[in-house]
Amino acid sequence: MKVGAIALNTFKEAKRDRILYLLFFFAAGAIVFSRILAVLTVGDRLKIVKDVGLAAISIFGILMAILMGTGLVYKEIDKKTIYTLLAKPIHRAQFLFGKFLGLALTLFIMTGSMGLIFLGIVFAHSLRFEARLLVAVLFIFLELLLITAVAILFSSFSTPILSSIFSLSFALIGHLSWGLETLIKKLPSPAARGAARALYAILPDLENFNFRTEVVYGLAIPPAIYLHATLYGLLYTAFILGLAVLVFRRRDFL
């Protein structure tokens, strides 16, 4: 009940944030621009619309998660409302989970709205409703949940600016960590390969949520991959939230 109340209050605060609507406006503009770009480009125009549209949803969704997530805890501290909240019979874990769920609901609505605009543009271009695109949008949202958890983790002990830099670095590393596989094969030393494998296991692999290529080019996706990506996202998100709770519990606000 307490978590739900905090989540609802977080959602109400988030929907009044101008940054949210500014990013949504640019995302919608990029999705609409994808059709104009397709007309001016030589090649399969529908694939360009799909590729640019999904990329816009992913990029602006990540920015929403980072810019809003990194300020969730800091705003409560800055406004001194954290003292009132923690003076009540509310556990710090409930506070963080409520904040996470409130922002998750906000991102779900924003991602869904961007997805509807995207499907509308695709339909206007091809006169076909392609339900498979919803799969790519759904896994983008799953990635955003993980990025939100990371943003909350950093915001539990750092300032919004540093938290944003750390969270953005996490997202960039997560999408580039696949390059370590190639590096591992080329390293001559067994010790170096072992260290690289350990680093690869620790670093996030956000490409698990990227089904853009498969959806755009109509490639087959085994159900096991969907299950792996879903479990990876949920477990990693739960792990990061657990770390955030441990860090937040150690903070002294007195």
pLDDT digits (tens, 9 = 90+) for 56-72: 999 999 999 999 999 88
In this prediction, residue 157 has a pLDDT band, given cuts at 50, 70 and 90, of confident
The better pLDDT of the pair 129, 41 is held by: 129
Short-list 201, 197, 196, 199, CA closest to 236: 201
The predicted model gives 79-94 an average pLDDT of 74
The predicted model gives 148-152 an average pLDDT of 94
**Cβ-contact 24, 59 below 8 angstroms:** no
pTM: 0.90
Tokens found for residue 58: 């992913």
Residues 6 or more apart whose Cβ sits within 8 Å of residue 234: 142
Cα of 238 vs its chain's centroid, Å: 14
Q: Is 55 helix (H, G, I), strand (E, B) or coil?
A: helix
